[in-house]
Amino acid sequence: MVQVPNLKLNSGAEMPQVGFGLWKVGNDIAPDVVYNAIKAGYRLFDGACDYGNEVECGQGVARAIKEGIVKREELFIVSKLWNSFHDKERVEPIVKKQLADWGVDYFDLYLIHFPVATEYVDPSVRYPPGWQYEGDEIRPSKATIQETWTAMEGLVEKGLAKSIGISNFQAQLIYDMLRYAKIKPATLQIEHHPYLVQNELLRLAKNEGITVTAYSSFGPASFEEFNMEHANKVKPLLSHDVIAEIAKKHGKTNAQVLLRWATQRGLAVIPKSTKVEYMQSNLESIAFDLSDDDIKKISALDINTRFNQPSNYFPTEALWIFG
């Protein structure tokens, strides 16, 4: 089994550098996928309210713990606060629901999923709530990021989350947050791949002691189902000539090269696969080194193209809410 290194967070916690992402893992297979990933050696699992599979992922965790494969304290479970629970009085109740869904007493890391606040939807009415309030209607909440972050800090004080962080935040919001945060964000999770290198944002995070987790390490591969014009126009990273050439030189897969490019630059990664052989292969991406020239060639593919954005999920006429 590959020994995955840990990254030391500013909260004092140790976070595995290679974890397992749970976005788009189907409810019918999630228990087995999580269980098999634990058996393969994964210890970090990146979930969210919005993924709609936390109950099933928790079942996979419970099975592995019951069989003695792993102890709860050996796992690093991550979840996220959805947009419709940003109002301060909504944060703690939804976290308690999510913990119950997972079948655990605390999250190792809890993130604000998006810097977007939408009107509350009662979980008994619809869960997960999604972006829309009803039909295609988007209703914003008046909750500020400061209000939400203060409630997030309360989760740490009550032991419901060991560390807290942010996701999909850009520089201006981070700088503003650092002015009032009593607890600095431990991590920043962002879309990051060779088509979206975001060097300036990474430099900000490093200077502030915020660990960065990269999602969508394989670029447009996760977004093809949205029939996005720019996702379908760019060459898939998993079959890109530059990546393939470097992979061949090292005797590795294209996926391993893409993951190692990120981890060697100090980021954490959260790839996923439903196949055990790919689970293992992704973990093993940590076990070799790219040359400085390799890293420069991969970084030079940057075209500042983002695939995860609100227009993927709701009508463009609603975008005025988010600027």
Q: In the structure encoding, which two tokens stand for residue 301, read together?
A: 């593919």
Could you give the 3-state DSSP secondary structure of residue 211? strand
> Do 239 and 254 meet the contact criterion of CB atoms below 8 Å apart?
yes
Please state, in angstroms and as integers, the Cα–Cα distance from residue 3 to each residue in 69, 108, 142, 229, 287, following that order: 16, 20, 45, 40, 9
Alpha-carbon distance of 323 to 198, in angstroms, equals 21
Rounded distance, CA 78 to CA 45, Å?
A: 6
Among 35, 42, 51, 120, the active-site one is 51
Of how many residues is the chain composed? Answer: 323
Beta bridge partners of 161: 107
Look up 215 and say whether it is catalytic: no
Amino acid type, 152: M
Task: Tell whether residue 113 is among the known ligand binding residues.
Answer: yes
The C-alpha atoms of residue 70 and residue 318 are separated, in whole angstroms, by 45
Residue numbers in the known binding site for substrate are: 113
Annotated catalytic residues are 51
Residue positions in the annotated binding site? Answer: 113
